[in-house]
Chain A
Amino acid sequence: MAPPPPATAVGDAMTPLPVPRDSRANIDIMAVTKGFHWPWFIALVLVLIGVAQAGLTLAYQTYWGFGVAGYQAPVFWGLYIVTFVFWIGIGHAGTLISAILFLFRAKWRNAVNRGAEALTVFAVLTAVLFPVLHLGRLWKLYYLLPYPNQRGLWVNFKSPLLWDVFAINTYMLISIVFFYIGLIPDIAMARDRATGVKKVVYTVLALGWQGTGVQWKAHSRAVLHLSGLATPLVLSVHSVVSWDFAMSVVPGWHATIFAPYFVAGAVFGGFAMVIVVLIPVRRIFKLERYLTDYHFENMSRFILLTSTICGYAYAMEYFIAWYSGVEAEQTSFWLRLFGPYWFSTWCMITFNVFFPQLLWIKRLRTNLPFLFVLCFFINLGMWFERYVIIITSLSREFITGAWGLYIVSPVELSILVGSFCWFSMWFLLFLKAFPVIAISEVKELIIHEKEHGGAH
């Protein structure tokens, strides 16, 4: 063996290590945060206008009272609760990808998990606005929480609405913690390459991360434990949301199938939203090398699976309604299909059950324009699903004399549009602040490939 080349002499040093070429993954993915992208800027301006108009509407509603939102007997849970459930559902794919697929060691998740986690956080941040908007008197928000007071009153711990307060807030906080922990190594990488104000911000947020063996070990453990905690949490959150309905006796709601039905629907809608968002991101920011057709195909498979579960749940709801022999239940379901809200019901069934069956065809699973359009319709279908569940049931309860017709008000529509803009605003800002793909996790794959002789 040839003798080793001499080392730099002791004491000669403090020579800084030469600055090498950077990792291509760092350059490509951080390019999203740098420079000016017209599509991004135009989208940001539009969503800011959308948020502003919703803010004005909220001020109007707060000043004049909740009546301007058009709520009247018998439907007091209108578009706000429909949209609340929709956004909570959207927030499920991120945790499924980050936590459950992590526990299953599905390595393909590495490229999509950051974007999906971000969508989860922003969807939950959007969802939590709706129970507050629905209060009408926003300043009474603290009534929802158990807090010590002179009257000795406490909240009702046996109510599913209170369970929801705990479930949603826990989900929001744990999603943020999970998201941040995953971001730390990438923020440190960004810190090493940033200058000026950005460097200061990244330095604070990176918490002195250097990627030492001790730090990585603690990080891996923390991610593993959080995945273990988040997995039952994500399953519980939409179950608890479903119990807001299923614990009542309203026809169409009082069903034991609701928890798994809601969870499957949430994962279904969540994956569809991830695809709708990531396809343009991939195209505009040229991330084809990292977000490949393979990733979209795998997500399509999840969509196909969960669509089938949803289809089964829909069928079971109708079967049980018929089989129960309860007239109110049977009438409620009959009116869903052929009553005044038939359009929503058929949209729901067509978009959520029939359209996704096209994904049995492999060529379509990797056809991104098709996937984008399909997933857009799935999102629409999932919103209609919540509309059908809530509105049709409340407007057609037991006594025919108490039936009523619910019509969406302009105030509600304005807030609905605002919620999409609010969600998009956070995501657009995130794109320019942090890496949209988990760079350290992608590097794990690249280095493994390098080690085993493959190109990357």
Chain B
Amino acid sequence: MPTLVSIFDLPSDVANSVRKLKARGFDDLTTYSPAPFPEIEEAENPKPSGVRLWTLIGGLLGVTTGFAFQIWASLEWPIKIGGKAYTAIPPFWIIGFELTILFGGFATLFGLLAVGKLRPRKLDPHYSRRFSAEEFGVVVNCEGRDVAEIEALLREHSAKEVNVVDS
């Protein structure tokens, strides 16, 4: 199956070409960019990122853990302090809040690692250090018969280079 590796200078060209490619049914593509550009991210994958679910679950787990742990420990060793109830809720908000942030923050990190498939590994064969300079890449896997159409489409959207490689 051939792969087309194209190079762009501007994010809007990348976003437009990705939208066109997807509209034509060429879904097996990856973009590479040196900086975050929401238009490219949306064009490539318009679905909301799964990271938000990780953050939410982490935060909820944190606040639950914070309160449950303080209440349990205060009942385990009950001491009256300042005339407050053993399980006085207002002072427990502080640690409950801190653990919400702590668990939510770490869950966000793990969500990023899981959703972005981040782990030490071999890089994609078509990845180039140009993509960590100031250029953008669109890599499309396609059938041999579609090469000419995809190449024309990429060039129409200002791809400055298009290389066809066998994968």
Q: Is there contact, CB below 8 Å, between A213 and B40?
A: yes
Residue of A nearest to B113 (CB): A207
A158 near B84 (CB under 8 angstroms)?
yes
| B49 contacts A236, C-beta separation under 8 Å | no
Could you say which of B41, B106, B133 contacts A20, with CB atoms under 8 Å apart? B133
Among B12, B35, B70, B166, residue most surrounded by chain A Cβ atoms (within 10 Å): B35
A153 to B74, CA, bound (A): 9
The answer to whether B120 touches A204, judged by C-beta atoms less than 8 angstroms apart, is yes
**CB-contacts of A198-215 with B (<8 A):** 203-204, 206-215
Query: Considering only CB atoms, which chain B residue lies closest to A22 in the complex?
Result: B133
A213 to B81, CA, bound (A): 54
- For A22, list chain B residues within 8 Å (CB): 133
Q: Which residues of B contact A180 (CB under 8 A)?
A: 109
A163 touches B94 (CB 8 A): yes
- The answer on a CB contact under 8 Å between A451 and B11 is yes
A27 to B127 alpha-carbon distance, docked (Å): 20
For residue B8, give the distance in angstroms from its CB to the closest CB of chain A.
11
* CB <8 Å contact, B32 and A221: no
Inter-chain contact A213/B73, CB cutoff 8 Å: no
Instruction: Looking at the assembled complex, report how far the CB atom of A429 sits from the nearest CB atom of chain B, in whole angstroms.
Output: 23
State which of B38, B40, B84, B132 has its C-beta within 8 Å of the C-beta of A188: B132
The residue in chain B whose Cβ has the minimal distance to the Cβ of A178 is B105
Known contacts A177-B109, A446-B134; decide if A217 and B49 are in contact (CB<8 Å).
yes
**B101 → chain A closest CB, angstroms:** 5
Shortest distance between the CB of B64 and any CB in chain A (Å):
16
**Distance of A443 Cα from B40 Cα, bound (Å):** 15
Flag whether B28 is at the interface (Cβ < 8 A).
no
Instruction: Let me know if A410 is at the binding interface, CB within 8 A.
Output: no
Question: Contacts A14-B165, A214-B44 known; A166 to B95 CB distance under 8 Å?
Answer: yes
Residues from chain B with Cβ under 8 Å of A221 in the complex = 49, 51-52, 112
Q: State whether the Cβ of A324 lies closer than 8 Å to any Cβ in chain B.
A: no
Q: Contacts A23-B134, A218-B49; is A232 near B101 (CB within 8 Å)? A: yes
Could you say which of A47-55, A222-230, A379-387 contacts chain B? A222-230
Q: Determine how close the nearest CB of chain A comes to the CB of B117; give it in whole angstroms.
A: 7
Number of B interface residues, CB 8 Å?
Answer: 89
How many residues of A are counted as interface, with CB atoms below 8 angstroms from the partner's CB atoms? 80
- Cβ contact of A240, chosen from B10, B76, B94, B118, cutoff 8 A: B94
Shortest CB-to-CB span from A454 to chain B, Å, is: 13
A447 and B11 in contact, given A170-B99, A216-B41 (Cβ under 8 angstroms):
yes
At the interface, yes or no: B60 with Cβ under 8 Å from chain A?
no
The chain B residues found within 8 Å of chain A, CB to CB, are 2, 4-5, 7, 9-12, 18, 30-38, 40-41, 43-45, 49-52, 55, 59, 69-70, 73-74, 76-77, 79, 81-82, 84, 88, 91-92, 94-95, 97-99, 101-102, 104-106, 108-109, 111-113, 115-124, 127-135, 144, 147-148, 151-152, 155-156, 161-166
Chain A contact residues: helix, strand, loop or mixed: helix
Task: Apart from A15-B163, A157-B70, A219-B36, list 7 A-B contacts with CB within 8 A.
Answer: A208-B119, A217-B44, A219-B112, A221-B49, A232-B101, A233-B98, A443-B134
Rounded to whole angstroms, the CA-CA distance of A226 and B105 in the bound complex is 6
24 pairs from A and B in contact (CB 8 Å cutoff): A13-B165, A14-B165, A155-B73, A157-B70, A158-B82, A162-B95, A163-B98, A170-B99, A207-B113, A211-B34, A211-B132, A214-B117, A216-B40, A217-B44, A218-B116, A219-B36, A221-B49, A222-B111, A222-B112, A229-B55, A229-B105, A229-B108, A444-B36, A447-B10
Whether A152 lies near B76 (C-beta < 8 A) is yes
Q: Which residues of B contact A19 (CB under 8 A)?
A: 129-130
A31 to chain B, nearest CB (A): 15
Question: Which chain A residues border B148 with CB–CB below 8 Å?
Answer: 7
A206 vs B119: C-alpha distance in the bound complex, in angstroms?
A: 8
Complex-state Cα separation, A19 to B132, whole angstroms: 12
Q: In the complex, which residues of chain B have a beta carbon less than 8 angstroms from the beta carbon of A208?
A: 117-123
Docked-complex contact B116 and A219, CB < 8 angstroms:
yes
- Interfacial residues of chain A within 409-453, with CB under 8 A of chain B in the complex: 440-441, 443-444, 446-447, 450-451
Closest chain A residue to B3, Cβ basis: A13
